[in-house]
Every structure is written in C-alpha cells, then in structure tokens.
Amino acid sequence: MSQPVWRRGAEEVGNQVFFMGGFFRNIFRTGFEWNEFLRQAFIVGYKSLPLVGITGFILGFVLTLQSVPTMKEFGAESYVPSMVAISVIREIGPVIIALICAGKIASSMGAELGSMKVTEQIDAMEVSGANPLQFLVVPRVLACIFMIPLLTLMADGLALVGGFLGSNIGNKISALSYFNKAFSSLAFSDIVPAVIKTIFFGFAIGFVGCYKGYNSDRGTESVGLAANSAVVNASLWIIVLDAFAVQITNIVVYN
C-alpha cells in the first residue's frame, strides 16, 4: 500500500531541508573545490550566454513593439524607454531569465547527477571516503548563485538594446535620447532588489537541479524523471520566491 500524499510531501520537505543543511555545512569545510567551481561557473555562465542574450534582446524588442501602439493612444510614447527599462529590470528580466536557466541548467544538473547516481559514480565517491556533496553539489549551486545574477544583468542590458531597436521601427529616436530616458527613470531601488532576488533564483536553480539528480532512483528512466522534475520544481520555486521578493521589496523599499 502506498503512503498517503501528506506523508510523502512531508518526507520530501524533510529530505530537502536535510540536503540543504549538507550543502551549507560543506561550503565552509576545508578543501573547497575551486577548480570544479570555476568549471561549473564556465558551464553555467559562458555556455548560457547565447540563449540568455537572445532571450533578453527579444524580450526588450517585443515588449517595446507591443507597448508602443497602446502608449501612442494615450500620447505617452515618450515614456516607452522608461517603461521598458523599469519593467525589464524590476521584474520581467529576472523572472524570464531565471525560468530559461531553470530549463537549461537545472535540467542538465538533474540529468548529470541522476546518471552519476544510476551508474554508481556517486556511491563510488562515497565509499572511497570522498565527500560527493562537497565535490558535486557545492560548486554547482555556488556557480548558479554567482552566474545567474550576472546573466540577468547582461540580459537586462540587451533588452534595453532590443527596446531601442523596437522603438526605431517606424519612429526615429537617437540612442542617446533613448538610453538617457531609460536610465533616468531607474534608481538603485530598482536594481538592487532585482539583483538580490536573482541570487535566490540562482540558488533555487542549482539546489533543485542537484537535489533531484542526487536523489534520483536507480534506473535509466529516473534520469529523465530527475531532469524533468528539476525543471518543474525549480520553475515553481522561482515563481514563489518572486512573489515573496516583490512583497518584501514593496514593504522595505517603496513604503
């Protein structure tokens, strides 16, 4: 007879808390894996550049094209650069880029660690006396924590470039004027909370990807399940974290 849903849910939460405890304990253990961290930062950051760059650029471009007709109706066309800048940097950029990265990075971490589990590589590390959490999990999660904010900032910049090109279809606006309007509407209170929340998004992507892979069942099917479940869960974490982040930002910054 299978366990009731609430019990399985409680066990899953307990396992995740235990795994998170292991992650935090191992960050501060001696023998930090710098080489592995740099390798993962390269994989997470550099190898995601084209996907994230194109996404960011098109995001700004499309947002501008969609907004211009409506803004025109209200005679507010000149506010398009400000609107694009604020909406992309505060909300759309971090969330969309995090969701894109959840699809690319969390799934690949889930599949990689899942296949290591299936082929007993993680067990082999453990029985040799090495610490698989320190070698496999800590560098991956930290790489996501460092690289997701950087990728988001780059995507935000490219979204503004996309917005500028979008504004130039039909109308003529100089780059100086466009970026002047965009940046003058931004304050640190827009950028800092957005960057802070991307750090949490990075943690969610790395943590969920590693957790699902590391704890996958034994069998080739479970590798696919781990990858799929990593994407679904990381996306859910991002949406929920975003809801909290917006509330906290409203209370702390805008009140």
**Site residues, other proteins (CB under 8 A):** 31, 116, 119-121, 123-131, 135
Smallest separation, CB 38 to other proteins (Å)? 14
CB-wise, 11 or 120, nearer to other proteins?
120
Q: Please, which residue, 16 or 131, has the CB nearer to other proteins?
A: 131
Decide whether 127 or 176 has the Cβ nearer to other proteins.
Answer: 127
Query: Residues 6 or more apart from 116 whose CB is under 8 A from it?
Result: 122, 136, 213
Shortest approach of other proteins to residue 125 CB, angstroms? Answer: 8
Contact 241, 204 (CB under 8 A): yes
| Residue placing its CB nearer to other proteins in the complex, 72 or 218 | 218
In whole angstroms, the minimum distance from the beta carbon of 251 to other proteins comes to: 42
**Beta carbon of residue 129, minimum distance to other proteins (angstroms, whole number):** 4
